[in-house]
Structure 1
Amino acid sequence: MEEIHVLIADDEKEIRDLVKKYLEQEKYQVDVAADGEEALRLFDQNKHNLILLDLMMPKIDGIEVCRRLRNKTNIPILMLTAKDQEVDKIVGLSIGADDYITKPFSIHELVARIKAHMRRFMVLGSDRSTQEAPITYGSITMDVKKYKVSKAGEEVFLTAKEFELLKFLASHPEQVFTKTQIFRNVWGTQYLEDDNTVMVHIRKLRKKIEDDPSNPKLIQTVWGIGYKFVGGSDGS
């Protein structure tokens, strides 16, 4: 497997050094940035597989960095937030962050979350995934081999986590999943079960693939339970 390259952006040197130390023990290659400008510069200079991004940073804050990065890449972005930044967490998720972890955090939990995101992201791009044929639901086509989604022939840009979420739901048509079940299957971690994360990603996905996001036909809400994907596949 190719070497995994992680970018850590946080203005607290102690956090940068601690996370870098533990990730390097996992044989990851690590770059560190002390502010948003440096994070964007390092990203442009290197090929990173995952970004750990502090919400509050000098020069350019984490939300703006995340917004700019999402115009360039679909790799996992994990945000570090303080406990009292619930609104900012939702904003971060809505503009492209895949996950967040709250400070103060357990370093072992953080490393486990990073490893879980990388495992799932790498599997989607692995040879096992590339053997799968495109799947079509109405005007939506998922090309797992190319890691792309199109609507009526036009490509729709999805983040890594949005793609995983759509693939999971579309692979189980008509089956109802609770938010907890979706979180465990898509985010793949035992440490956090977060309704906001699932709901924000469902909302973002609907905006990108539904003809009328306020009246969704593909990803439907089952009130009091969760969500289901509706529609038979026209492909294999």
Structure 2
Amino acid sequence: MNYHVAVVEDDPNIQNIVTAYLKKDGYTVSMFDSAEKALQLWETSPPDMWILDIMLPGMDGFEFCKKIRRESEVPIIIISAKDEEIDKILGLELGSDDYLTKPFSPRELLARVKRLFKRIQPILDEDENKSQKIAAQQLIVYKNDRRVFWLGKEQEVTTKEYELLLIFAEHPNRAFSREELLLKVWGHDYYGSDRAVDDLIKRIRKKLVDIPLETVWGFGYRLRDEGK
């Protein structure tokens, strides 16, 4: 299962290290430098786990933790430069599942992430079966609901745009020829030009700005996902 981890941390160095370690281990990662920016993801496409720094500009990690806990039991790890016992107790009483103080080892954080997912995996598997969530990079497709999210925002897509995005999300990094995509999306009865694929890709790129849909010259297209 491809778990989606959201990290709220305003230190660029920690952002880069945590993102690199999580992606290397196969997780989809969304990174935010403020709780306010993370709220949009929480409201539209909640991740499978949150890693929250306490000291943030604006809303702090404790407040964001409380907000999440009022609505969900999603696992939360709090990280902070504070090492006082009262902060650890406060973090856990507010509903966080674990607590790490800075500086911390990225390997230790990764181990705690794995441990938490192992503990709640039966619940997440049940939710996964219900929603059929497919994630690649920050593209998330819910098969049962036929809903598409990009960068935490739900996108209005046509039937063919949805079908094409689902193909790419289910097979990240795989190159598809135009002929394959025509067959999968338009079906055997389509007799038009494969330019239809190019036009559909253009529309998707315009709607989902910065989506890593790469052109494989002389062949077709692929969705690049560096985390896989």
TM bucket (normalised to shorter chain) is: 0.5 to 0.7
Displacement of 1:62 after TM fit?
0.5
| 1:175-190 alignment, distance < 5 Å | none
1:110 alignment partner in structure 2: 109
SS at match of 1:16: helix
Between Structure 1 and Structure 2, whose CA radius of gyration is higher? Answer: 2
Displacement of 1:84 after TM fit?
3.1
Number of corresponding residues = 126
Which amino acid in structure 1 is aligned with residue 31 of structure 2? V
What is the percent sequence identity of the aligned residues? Answer: 39
TM-score (norm 2): 0.52
1:87 alignment partner in structure 2: 86
SS at match of 1:64: helix
Which amino acid in structure 2 is aligned with residue 104 of structure 1? P
Q: 1:198-226: CA deviations, max 9, x gaps?
A: xxxxxxxxxxxxxxxxxxxxxxxxxxxxx
Q: 1:108-160: CA deviations, max 9, x gaps?
A: 11101101101111134547xxxxxxxxxxxxxxxxxxxxxxxxxxxxxxxxx
2:27 alignment partner in structure 1: 28
Structure 2: which 5+ runs fail to align?
127-228
1:63 alignment partner in structure 2: 62
2:18 alignment partner in structure 1: 19
SS at match of 2:78: strand
TM-score (norm 1): 0.51
Mapped to 2, the partners of 1:23 and 1:7 lie a distance apart of 10
1:75 alignment partner in structure 2: 74
Which amino acid in structure 1 is aligned with residue 8 of structure 2? A
Which amino acid in structure 2 is aligned with residue 41 of structure 1? Q
CA contact (8 A) 1:6 1:31 kept: yes
Mapped to 1, the partners of 2:93 and 2:11 lie a distance apart of 25
Which amino acid in structure 1 is aligned with residue 28 of structure 2? Q
Structure 1: which 5+ runs fail to align?
128-236
SS at match of 2:109: helix
Which aligned segments of 4 or more residues in structure 1 are displaced greater than 4 angstroms?
124-127
Instruction: Identify which of structures 1 and 2 has the higher relative contact order when contacts are C-alpha pairs closer than 8 Å and 6+ apart.
Output: 2
1:44 alignment partner in structure 2: 43
